[in-house]
């Protein structure tokens, strides 16, 4: 089925994302006559000396995000101070039905069983997040995808959520014009911090990852220590804009370590000790003035960003990519974007800096649909829909 899709000049993919606390559905249309040709050339060993960039048809793709809806659960989980898996899963059920109806007008469509006459369905394949993520949340999207695959006789593409984040950068039109392999990615989110080298569609090398907490987790948990409401990371970054990043001397864990790995648990501990020693008043809790809070936020952000930038530059010097992109929820951080761009221009001016995809930093259906297309370009064998199940610990 994947090979048949690759022969089409236009492919319409329905993307479904329910890995954590965002329900999202997207309909992506991609026009390109070179997908099948691209696969054929890559499989020809006599052409192996030709550079991948010359074979890559990315700049010729015509991509249109026809529909895209995201329903966030932040107000629900804010009451608990974090994501509650079972609450997330139950909320996904109602939200997903609503978003699928808005995307496909299911309430007015005539859905029948396979091999029977039916009205035209406006998509060719379904891409759904298989993992990583919360098991119960993932299964909501997967089961919905299976129902659609069965009832409409459409192929189901099981997508890696991390690959989806990488694909979010590809959805930016300006980036597709500069899409040249190998590409170095800094993937930073609440659950993941890793450096990934992409050598072709569907081919990745993990250069490093965090040994404990992710960067987004460090933002959120230190924000919680400061008394900021969930999700605290974006609020911490906002307050940091008014603060002094050198006000408090915080550690930069593993910044001088020979490896490219990350670690942020020590930073969290340092923040906790600092608060206890300087701002904790017996029987009254934390007492922090607004200016002190801004300075604390700025100092925490500076420590996290400095480590991310240093490791990225080191990875770029070692792997020598043609381009670089930062993706994931933390990629929306303005200071991180500015510092990465500045450092790479200074140390690796030959590397093209790909723009962070505006509005697609956090989990969304558009990136899942795009990653579904990458599976087709990579000529991956699509599984039978009956055999697709959640893989909470899935890796690239």
Cα–Cα distance for residue pair 375/360, rounded to 1 Å: 20
Lowest mean pLDDT among 43-52, 181-190, 333-342, 349-358: 43-52
CATH top-level class for 180-353? alpha beta
> Which element (helix H / strand E) includes 10?
strand 10-17
The residue written with tokens 């974007």 in the block is: 337
**Across 292-301, average pLDDT:** 98
The residue written with tokens 């420590």 in the block is: 303
Query: In the chain, what are the domain boundaries?
Result: 2-166+361-387, 180-353
Residue 39 has pLDDT above 70, yes or no: no
364-392 exposure pattern, b = at least 16 Cβ within 10 A, e = fewer: bbbbbbbbbbbbbbbbeebeebeebebbe
Closest CA to 41 of 249, 200, 262: 200
The answer to whether domain 2-166+361-387 and domain 180-353 are alike in fold is: yes
Cα–Cα distance for residue pair 134/81, rounded to 1 Å: 17
The residue written with tokens 């119960």 in the block is: 136
% of the chain residues with pLDDT over 70: 87
The residue written with tokens 């690239």 in the block is: 396
The dihedrals phi and psi of 255, each to the nearest 5 degrees, come to -65, -30
CATH top-level class for 2-166+361-387? alpha beta
Tell me how long the chain is: 396
Query: 3-state DSSP call for residue 264?
Result: coil
Cα–Cα distance for residue pair 101/395, rounded to 1 Å: 31
pLDDT of 138-194, one tens digit each? 999 999 999 999 999 999 999 999 999 999 999 999 999 999 999 999 999 988 999
Please state, rounded to an integer, the average pLDDT across all residues of the chain. 89
Closest CA to 237 of 316, 169, 302, 141: 302
| pLDDT of amino acid 61 | 79
| pLDDT of amino acid 329 | 94
| pLDDT of amino acid 105 | 80
Residue 222 has pLDDT above 50, yes or no: yes
pLDDT of 257-295, one tens digit each? 999 999 999 999 999 999 999 998 876 788 999 999 999
Cβ atoms of residues 218 and 304 within 8 Å: yes
| pLDDT of amino acid 394 | 95
> Which element (helix H / strand E) includes 95?
helix 85-104
Four-point Cα dihedral 167, 172, 176, 178, nearest 10:
-110
Terminal-residue alpha carbon distance, the chain: 23
Q: What's the token pair of residue 149?
A: 């695959």
Model confidence, pTM: 0.90
């Amino acid at each position: 089925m994947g090979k048949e899709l690759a022969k089409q000049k236009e492919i319409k993919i329905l993307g479904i994302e329910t890995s954590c606390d965002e329900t999202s559905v997207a309909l992506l249309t991609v026009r390109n006559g070179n997908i099948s040709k691209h696969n054929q050339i890559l499989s020809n060993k006599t052409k192996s000396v030709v550079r991948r960039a010359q074979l890559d048809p990315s700049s010729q793709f015509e991509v249109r995000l026809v529909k895209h809806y995201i329903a966030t659960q932040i107000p629900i989980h804010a009451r608990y101070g974090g994501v509650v898996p079972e609450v997330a899963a139950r909320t996904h059920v109602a939200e997903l039905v609503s978003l699928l109806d808005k995307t496909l007008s299911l309430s007015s469509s005539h859905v029948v069983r396979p091999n029977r006459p039916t009205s035209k369905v406006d998509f060719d394949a379904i891409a759904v997040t298989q993992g990583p993520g919360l098991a119960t949340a993932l299964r909501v999207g997967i089961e919905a995808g299976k129902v659609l695959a069965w009832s409409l006789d459409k192929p189901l593409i099981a997508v890696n959520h991390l690959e989806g984040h990488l694909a979010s950068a590809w959805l930016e039109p300006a980036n597709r014009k500069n899409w040249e392999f190998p590409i170095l990615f800094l993937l930073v989110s609440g659950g993941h911090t890793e450096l990934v080298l992409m050598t072709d569609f569907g081919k990745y090398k993990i250069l490093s990852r965090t040994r404990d907490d992710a960067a987004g987790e460090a933002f959120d948990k230190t924000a919680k220590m400061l008394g900021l409401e969930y999700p605290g990371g974006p609020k911490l970054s906002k307050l940091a804009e008014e603060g002094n990043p050198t006000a408090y001397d915080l550690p930069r864990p593993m910044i001088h370590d020979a490896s490219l790995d990350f670690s942020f648990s020590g930073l969290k501990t340092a923040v906790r000790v600092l608060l206890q020693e300087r701002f904790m008043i017996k029987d009254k809790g934390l007492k922090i003035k607004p200016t002190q809070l801004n300075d604390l936020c700025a100092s925490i952000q500076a420590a996290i960003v400095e480590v991310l930038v240093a490791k990225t530059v080191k990875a770029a010097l070692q792997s020598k990519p043609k381009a670089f992109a930062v993706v994931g929820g933390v990629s929306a951080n303005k200071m991180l974007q500015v510092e990465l761009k500045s450092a790479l221009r200074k140390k690796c001016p030959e590397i093209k800096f790909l723009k962070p995809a505006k509005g697609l930093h956090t989990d969304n259906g558009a990136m899942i649909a795009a990653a579904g297309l990458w599976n087709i370009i990579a000529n991956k064998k699509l599984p039978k829909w009956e055999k697709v199940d959640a893989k909470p610990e899935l890796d690239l």
